[in-house]
Amino acid sequence: MSDKTTPLEGTLPPATLDDPHLLPSAKNPKRMEALAALAMVIGMAGFVAFIYVYWVNASNKWEALTLGIGMLGLGVGVIAWGKYLMPQGPFVEERHEFHSTDDERESFNAAITGRGGIEVKRRKMLLGVFALGGGVMTLALLIPGVRSLGPKPAKSEGTQGSTEDSLFTTNWKKGAKLVTVGGRPVKVDDLDVGGVLTVFPQGHEGSSPDQVILIRLAQLGPNDPPYPIAAPGRTEWGVQGYVAYSKLCTHLGCPVGLYQERTQQLVCPCHQSIFNVNAGAIPQFGPAPRPLPMLPITVDATGQMRANGGFDQAVGPGFWERP
Amino acid sequence: MIDKSLNWLDDRLGFAKGGRTFLDKIFPDHWSFMLGEIALYSFVILLGTGVFLSLYFVPSGHEIVYHGSYVPLRGQHVSEAYASTVGLSFDVRSGLLMRQAHHWAADIFLGAIAVHMARVFFTGAFRKPREFNWIVGTLMLILGIVNGFLGYSLPDDLVSGTGIRIAFSIIESIPVVGSYLGFFLFGGNYPGSGIIIPRFFTIHVLIVPAIIVGLLAAHLGLLVKQKHTQFPGKGKTEHNVVGSPMFPTFIAKTTGFLFVSAAVTFLLGGFAQINPIWQFGQYEPYQISYAVQPDWYMGWLDGALRIMPSWEWVGWGHTLPLEVFLPAVIFPGLIFNILIVWPFIESIYTKDHEYHNLLDRPRDRPKRTAAGASMLTLLFAVFFASSTDVMANFFQVPLIDVLWFFRFFVPLAPIAAYFLTLKICQEMRAAEGIGKRKHALVVERSTTGEYTTTASPVRPGDEHEELEAIPVPTFIDTTDPELATAAGVRRVIR
C-alpha cells in the first residue's frame, strides 16, 4: 500500500460543527430529524406487524407487506439521516502515486530474477523435473476427477450400448409393441384422423430417447393402398394411414409436441422449427437441420401396433460423432 | 468507554492506523455509483434467502408420491426435488416468500450488474488502472448467469427441465469433445442417471457462490485500494477524490440502501408471482408447454438460437451442428471475450496508457459510446427475438414473417445504432453549451422607454456557492479554539 505517506498520521484536523462543510444539507434539520425518526418508527411497527402476521399464519402477501414496510421505513430513515443531516463536505482525499517507486520495483524484481533466478539457472534440470512431475500429477488427478463423472459415449452406430451410454441407440426393435406412457398397448383403431399420441416401446415408457409421436393422417383400412409419404421408399413405413416419427427435435431435443392438423405440420414449441409430416417430416422452416427420424410401423393380426424395425439413424440433435 | 474498548482491541489487532484511513475514505457522490451497490446487496439477499431454501429443498431426482397440501398434485408421482420445492412453497411458513424473493433477487442481481457495467463502460471507468476490476466484474456476470440457470433448473419442473434438455444439446453440439462433456456432466446420455439435480445443486450452492464471493472480495478490495473514480467538477482532479467520508455519512446511506433493496425484493417476492412451478407440473422428457421463455438473462441466447438458419455441416463422417454451436457457444463466447479484452483494445487503439481517475461524459468519446450502443442494440435485438412466437400471436402476423424480420434486424440494427450514436455524440460535442442550463435574459426598460437585454450571470434562484473541499476533519461541537485543538478532549459527535 502506498497510503503510508498520507497526512493522516498527524492528529485529526478539527472542524467545528458550524463549519459550512459540516452543516446538514436539510433546510430544516429539526424537521428532517423528526421525519427520519418517523420513518424508522414506521419501520419498527412493520417488523412488529411481521411477527404478528407470522404468528397468526397469515398469507405470504401480508408477510411481504409488513417486512417490506419494516425494511423500507428503517432504510429510508437512515438514508435521510445520512443524506440530509450528516456532514456532506465536500471533503477531499488525495490519491497517491499508485505504483511503487523505482527502487521498490527494482528490489522486488531482484528478489525474483536475482535470488530465485540464479538458483533456477544453476539447477535447470531440477526445475524441469519438478515441472514435469507437477504436470503428471495434474493429469493423474484429472483422470478420476473427470473420468468418474460418467460413461464414455459410444463411438459409432455399430457399437452396442444402452440408451444410457450411446447417442445412437434407442430401444425400438422390430416387433416392439407401441404403448402409451401409462403402458397401455396401442391398437390400430385408437386414433381418428388428425389424432396424435406419444408412444414408447413396451418396457421403456417415459424414456427420453425412445419417445415417438404417432399420427393418423388418413382413415385407411388394411386393404386400401398405403398412404403415400413424399420421401422415397418410405411408403411401407406407415400403416393404415398412420406414421410415426421420433418426437425429439433435431434442433435441440425438445419434444416436438404441437401438431397442426390442417397443414399436417409438427411444430417445436421451443424454437419454432416446423416439420412437414406428409413429406417424411422434413424441416420446412426454423433452425432444425434434419427431418425427424421416421419409425417404420406395422399392425399385427390382433390389431396391435408394432415397430417394423428400429430407427435408421441417431435421434435428436446433431453431435460430432454422428456420420 | 468506547475509547477504552477500541484501545483494548487495538492492543490485540492493531487496526487503528489502517482503520483511520478506511474510515476517512472518500466516496464521490453520483446516483450512478449506486448501481453496483444494488448488485452487491442483491447478492447478500441471495445468500440469505438461499440458505433458508437449502434447509428445505431436497436435491434428488428420486421419484416419490406427493402427499403435501397442494391438492391438485396429491397422489401424483413426482421427483423429490419437485415435491420439496412445492412443499417449501406451501407447507413451509414464509417459504413461498423466501423462494420468490430468491428468484427476484437473482433477476435483480443480474440486471444491476448489466446496468452497472454499462455505466462503467460508457464513462470509461475501466481504463488504467482498473482493467482488472473490469475483468473481475465480467467474470461475476458470467458466473451469475450460469448460477441463475442452474438455480431455476433445480425444481425439476416442466419449464426448467426443458431448459436442461436444451443445455445438454448445446454441450453436445461442441465439436470433437461435445458428447464427452455432456456425458460427463450428466453422468450419461440425457436425461442422465438421476444424478443431474444433485450435481447442479452442489454447483449452484457451493462451487459458483464460493467463486463469486472470492471475486467479490477482489472487486471490493481493488475498489478500496484504487479508490473510486469521479466525474469532473469543481476541485476534482485526477489526483484526488471529492465526496463524503466512509464514516459516518456513506455508511449510513449505504446501510439504508441495503434495507431498501431488501424491501423491494421482498415486496416483489410477496406480490409479484414468479416461477409458479406447481402450475407447470413435474418435468417429463416427452412433455412440453407453449410460449415458454427462460429467465430474462438467458433470453439473448434463446433468441440467437431461434433466428439462426439451419446450417448443419456434415462431412468426413462427422456432424457439426453449426445451427446450435454458432449461436449458443461461439456467440456468447465472442461477446464475453470482447468484454474482457475491451480495455486493452481501447488503450491500444487510443495509444492512451495514462492513469484515469476522472470519468468521461459518454458524448466526449463518440466511438466508444457508439460501440457500446451497438453492442446493447445487438443484445436487445436477440433478446426480443426470443419471443417470436408470442409476438406473432400478439400482432397476428405469421411466425415466419416475424422470424425473417429478426434475421435481418439482429445484424443490421447494431450497425445503424453505431452510426446513429456516433452522429448524436459528435453533434452534441460540437454544440456550444449543450447540457448546461441556459442563462436567463434580463430585459430592462429605461426611463426613455428603451428596452435592453443582458444575460444574467446565473439564472435567478440558481445562485449557490460550492465550497472548497477540505480533508475530512473530526467533528467538534464547540467553537472554543482552545478546546478544539487541545489533544484528548475532542468529542466525536455520533
Q: Which residues of B touch A323 (CB under 8 A)?
A: 314, 317-319
Q: What are phi and psi of A119, to 5 degrees?
A: -65, -40
Q: What is the domain partition of chain A in residue ranges?
A: 3-85, 102-147, 170-323
Residue A2 — pLDDT band, cuts 50, 70, 90? Answer: very low
Test mutation, A93, A97, A212, A322, chain B, max B CBs within 10 A: A93
Is B183 in contact with A289 (Cβ distance < 8 A)? no
pLDDT at B460: 63
- Summarize the confidence of residues B418-445 as an average pLDDT: 84
Among candidates B162, B244, B355 on the partner chain, residue whose Cβ is nearest the Cβ of A88 = B244
Mutate to test the interface with B, among A17, A74, A91, A200 (most CBs of B within 10 A): A91
Q: What 3-state DSSP class applies to A246? A: strand
The pLDDT assigned to B235 comes to: 84
pLDDT in tens, B148-181: 999 999 999 998 888 999 999 999 999 999 999 9
Mean pLDDT within A175-194: 89
CB distance A150–B184 less than 8 Å?
yes
Least confident of A8-12, A219-223, B361-365: A8-12
Which pLDDT value is given to residue B19?
83
Whether residues A16 and B485 touch (CB distance < 8 A) is answered with: no
Partner-chain contact B476 A165, CB within 8 Å = no
How many residues can be counted in chain B? 494
CA atoms within 13 A of residue B83's CA, in its CB half-sphere: 19
Mean pLDDT throughout B27-51? 94
Q: What sign does the CA torsion over B357, B358, B362, B363 have?
A: negative
Cβ-defined contact of B270 to A68 (cutoff 8 Å): yes
> What does the alpha-carbon distance between residue B445 and residue B464 come to, in Å, rounded to a whole number?
28
One domain for residues B170 and B214: yes
In this prediction, residue A99 carries a pLDDT of 84
Report the alpha-carbon distance of residue A256 to residue A248 in Å, rounded. Answer: 6
Let me know if residue B444 belongs to a domain.
Answer: no
Residue B225 with chain A: CB contacts under 8 Å: 1
Domain limit, last residue, from B316, B349, B382:
B349
pLDDT at B314 over 70: yes
B315 shares its domain with B192: yes
Residue B110 and residue B253 in one domain: yes
Q: Is the pLDDT of residue A6 over 80?
A: no
Lowest mean pLDDT among A12-21, A210-219, B49-58, B370-379: A12-21
pLDDT of residue A230: 74
| B250 plus B392 within the same structural domain | no
SS3 letters across B184-197: HHHCCCCCCCCCHH
User: Looking at CA atoms only, how far is residue B229 from chain A in angstroms?
Assistant: 11
* Smallest CA–CA distance from A161 into chain B, residue: B189
What is the per-residue pLDDT for B476? 64
3-state secondary structure of A188: coil
**Chain B interface, best mutation among A27, A53, A67, by max B CB count within 10 A:** A67
Is B476 contained in some domain?
no
Same domain, B272 and B339: yes
Question: Which residue of A83, A270, A289 is in closest CB contact with B312?
Answer: A289
Cα separation, B274 vs B288, in Å, equals 19
Does B330 share its domain with B369?
A: no
**Grid coordinates given for B256:** 439504508
**The predicted structure's pLDDT at residue A20:** 79
* Residue B80 covered by a domain: yes
Domain with residue B151: its CATH number is 1.20.810.10
Chain A residues close to B470, C-beta within 8 Å: 13, 15, 21, 89-92
| Residue A199 distance to chain B (closest CA, Å) | 10
> For residue B464, is it within any domain?
no
Residue with cell 411401407: A236
B171 and B268 housed in the same domain: yes
Provide the pLDDT for residue B482. Answer: 54
CB-CB neighbors (< 8 A) of A54 in chain B: 93-94
Same domain, yes or no, for B80 and B204? Answer: yes
Contact: A86, B248; criterion CB under 8 Å: yes
Residue B493 is predicted with a pLDDT of 41
Q: Tell me which of B415, B436, B457 is where a domain ends.
A: B436
DSSP state of B284: -
Residues B305 and B374 in one domain: no
Q: d(Cα A166, Cα A74) in Å, to the nearest integer?
A: 59
Lowest mean pLDDT among B112-116, B227-231, B367-371, B431-435: B431-435
Give the residue from chain A lying closest to B192, CA to CA: A164
Q: Residue A23: which of B26, B477, B486 has the closest Cα? A: B477
Predicted pLDDT of residue B316: 86
- Asked if pLDDT for residue B494 goes beyond 70, the answer is no
Task: Give A12's contacts in chain B (Cβ within 8 Å).
Answer: 473-474, 490
Interface contact flag, B267 A70, Cβ < 8 Å: no
Per-residue model confidence (pLDDT) at position B133: 95
Residue B74 is given by DSSP the state T
Yes or no, beta carbons of A78 and B252 under 8 Å apart: yes
Query: Do B203 and B325 reside in the same domain of the chain?
Result: yes
Chain B residue with Cα closest to A36: B256
Do strands A282-285 and A274-276 pair parallel, antiparallel, or not at all (unpaired)? antiparallel
With a pLDDT cut of 70, the percent of chain B lying above it is: 94
In this structure, the answer to whether residues B371 and B404 fall within a common structural domain is: yes
> B177-193 pLDDT, tens per residue?
999 999 999 988 888 77
Q: With a cut of 50, say whether residue B487 has pLDDT above it.
A: no
Relative to beta strand A282-285, strand B26-27 is: unpaired
The CA distance from B175 to the nearest CA of chain A, in Å, is 5
From A267's Cα to the closest Cα of chain B, the distance in A is: 10
Neighbours of A165 (CB within 10 A): 17
3-state SS class at A158: coil
- Model confidence at B477, in pLDDT bands (50, 70, 90)? low
Q: In this structure, are B334 and B395 located in the same domain?
A: no
For strands A14-16 and B474-476, give the pairing.
parallel
Kindly identify which residue of chain A lies nearest to residue B185, measuring between CA atoms: A149
Q: Verify whether the Cβ–Cβ distance A323 to B317 is below 8 Å.
A: yes
Chain A residue numbers with beta carbons less than 8 Å from the beta carbon of B96 are 60
Domain count, chain B: 2
Tell me which amino acid residue B282 is.
Answer: Q
B137 in helix, strand or coil? helix
What pLDDT, on the 0 to 100 scale, is given for residue B300? 92
The model's confidence at residue A10, banded by pLDDT at 50, 70 and 90, is low
Q: Kindly report the number of other CB atoms within 10 A of residue B1's CB atom.
A: 5
Architecture of domain A170-323: 3-layer Sandwich (2.102)
When mean pLDDT is compared over B7-16, B357-366, B471-480, the highest value belongs to: B357-366
- Taking CB atoms and an 8 Å limit, are B474 and A253 in contact across chains? no
DSSP of B6-42: HHHHHHHH--HHHHHHHHH-EE---GGGGHHHHHHHH
Per-residue pLDDT of B223-265, as tens digits, reads 988 899 999 888 888 888 998 888 888 999 999 999 999 999 9
pLDDT tens per residue across span A100-121? 889 999 988 888 888 888 888 8
Contacts of A290 in chain B (CB under 8 A): 312
Confidence of residue B439 (pLDDT cuts 50, 70, 90): confident
In this prediction, residues B194-200 reach a mean pLDDT of: 91
Flag if A12 and B96 touch (Cβ within 8 Å). no
Structural domain that includes position B410: 361-436
pLDDT at A235: 80
CB A172 within 8 A of CB A295: yes
List beta partners, residue B318: B315
Determine the Cα–Cα distance for residues B40 and A266; give it in Å rounded to an integer: 46
CA distance A250 to B300: 21
Q: Is the separation of the CB atoms in A65 and B267 below 8 Å?
A: yes
Instruction: Please report, as a single letter, which amino acid is at residue B384.
Output: F
- Is the predicted pLDDT of residue A92 greater than 80, yes or no? yes
**A64 vs B contacts (CB less than 8 Å):** 97, 101, 266-267, 269-271
Strand order from edge to edge, sheet including A212-216: A178-179, A196-201, A212-216, A242-246
Q: Give the mean model confidence (pLDDT) for residues B134-138.
A: 96
Closest in B175, B251, B469 to A89, CB measured: B469
Q: How far apart are CA B478 and CA B488, in angstroms?
A: 14
Q: Does the pLDDT of residue B282 top 60, yes or no?
A: yes
- Confidence class for position A159, pLDDT limits 50, 70, 90: low
Domain boundary among B386, B413, B436: B436
- Are A87 and B225 inside 8 Å of each other by CB? no
Beta bridge partners of B242: A92
Res A134 pLDDT > 70? yes
Average pLDDT over residues A182-187: 90
Q: What is the full DSSP assignment across B369-412? A: HHHHHHHHHHHHHHHHHTTHHHHHHHHT--HHHHHHHHHHHHHH
Between residues A242 and B290, the one the model is more confident about: A242
pLDDT of residue A110: 87
Provide the pLDDT for residue A5: 38
Residue count of chain A, please give it.
323
The mean pLDDT value for B477-483 works out to 56
Nearest residue of chain B to residue A3 (CA atoms): B21
Phi, psi (deg, nearest 5) at residue A3: -75, 0
User: Of A46-60, B205-219, B224-238, B468-482, where does mean pLDDT reach its minimum?
Assistant: B468-482
Question: Is the preceding peptide bond at A289 cis, omega within 30 degrees of 0?
Answer: no
